[in-house]
Amino acid sequence: MTTVYLAIAEVKGGALRQVSFEVITAARQASGEGSTVASVLIGSDVSRFANELAAYGADHVYVVEHNDLTHYNAEAYDASLQAVIQAAQPKAIFFGHTSIGKDLAPLSAASLQAGQISDIIALETDAASGSILYTRPIYAGKAFEQRTFTSAQSVVTVRPNNFPLPSYETGRTAPVVNIAYPASTLRTFIRDVVTQAAGRVDLSEAKIVISGGRGVKSAAGFKPIEELAEVLNGAVGASRGACDAGYCDYALQIGQTGKVVTPELYIACGISGAIQHVAGMSQSRVIIAINKDPDAPIFQIADYGIVGDLFEVVPLLTAQFKQQLKSGSVD
């Protein structure tokens, strides 16, 4: 019997989230020779994404569609996933380490009586035992640990922006298995969803993040940061200090009590570098700090530092990037 690894896909704003493809990569790396990696789509009108998942490497696509699944509801989604698990009998299930994944993964692990490893950033095969070692950051990113499973089945959540996207094969197809929605009496209902206005780029999956701290001084102080983010096609983030001061919405908060981001480029503007904030962005590939205080802790982890007023430096950077992009010297 073929061993199955499930990769849970997520849809947001009418499109598949990037992490939907990254979990395929993680599942593929963990699977053995001859194993099957199957994507799972749960929602309303989501079967249209099956071909895209197949093009990114899914061998099968399981689909559960129903009006009850239009908005995320833990009860309904868990029941739907249990129906998929019953049909697929997977060895492992991979989720994105997102708000949905962090909520749904423990429910699946509990129902399967399986172990769970959360927030992994890499995996490898142990040469001695042949078991899979999963790497995850601990102590606010100051250290890393490797864990493995002893249970027959396993549940894993994958931190976005840490696994490469699988190759896209135009025209590649995969069998689609439609699973009937297991109608059950729901104790909770989602009547409506009110969302805050957000940027064009998903913060948790952005390749470039420009963040502001208390140094922006006001809500209007985020304007130059937003302009730079727009030029670089990046996302805007913030420290908790900026959020607590009312300069921006808490949806932008990065840190120990906010979002964890791992972009290719992180630009910290007017952020001192408190350990709580560093916990959410220290794994960024390249960190640039802009601060008037040369002794600010953020410079200790920054790859590049600019000592200066962000209201002078950021507009200069924006103008320079605009010029470089116009000339075609920047990708």
**Does the annotation list 141 as a binding residue?**
no
Task: Answer yes or no: are the C-beta atoms of 225 and 242 closer than 8 Å.
Answer: no
Q: What is the pLDDT of residues 24-45, one digit of tens each?
A: 999 999 998 889 999 999 999 9
**Does the annotation list 239 as a binding residue?**
yes
**Does the annotation list 225 as a binding residue?**
no
Per-residue confidence at 64, pLDDT binned at 50, 70, 90?
very high
322 vs 286: CA distance, rounded Å:
20
**Does the annotation list 270 as a binding residue?**
yes
- Domains of the chain in start order, with CATH, are 4-178 (3.40.50.620), 203-327 (3.40.50.1220)
**Does the annotation list 100 as a binding residue?**
no
Rounded average pLDDT over 318-327: 90
Per-residue confidence at 187, pLDDT binned at 50, 70, 90?
confident
Rounded average pLDDT over 314-330: 88
Radius of gyration of the CA atoms of the chain, in A: 21
**Does the annotation list 47 as a binding residue?**
no
Q: 36: Cβ–Cβ under 8 A, 6 or more apart, which residues?
A: 2, 3, 4, 5, 59, 60
282 vs 22: CA distance, rounded Å:
21
**Does the annotation list 89 as a binding residue?**
no
**Does the annotation list 113 as a binding residue?**
no
Tell me what pLDDT residue 62 has: 98
Q: Where are the alpha helices (DSSP H) in 177-298?
A: 223-232, 240-244, 275-278
20 vs 15: CA distance, rounded Å:
10
Closest CA to 91 of 29, 23, 3, 2: 3
Pairwise pLDDT comparison (13 vs 145), residue with the higher score: 145
Alpha carbons within 13 angstroms on the beta-carbon side of residue 210 total: 23
**Does the annotation list 257 as a binding residue?**
yes
Tell me what pLDDT residue 153 has: 94
Strand pairing category for 92-96 and 15-16: unpaired
Task: Answer yes or no: are the C-beta atoms of 41 and 11 closer than 8 Å.
Answer: yes
Per-residue confidence at 148, pLDDT binned at 50, 70, 90?
very high
Closest CA to 199 of 241, 161, 237: 237
**Does the annotation list 151 as a binding residue?**
no
Task: Answer yes or no: are the C-beta atoms of 214 and 296 closer than 8 Å.
Answer: no
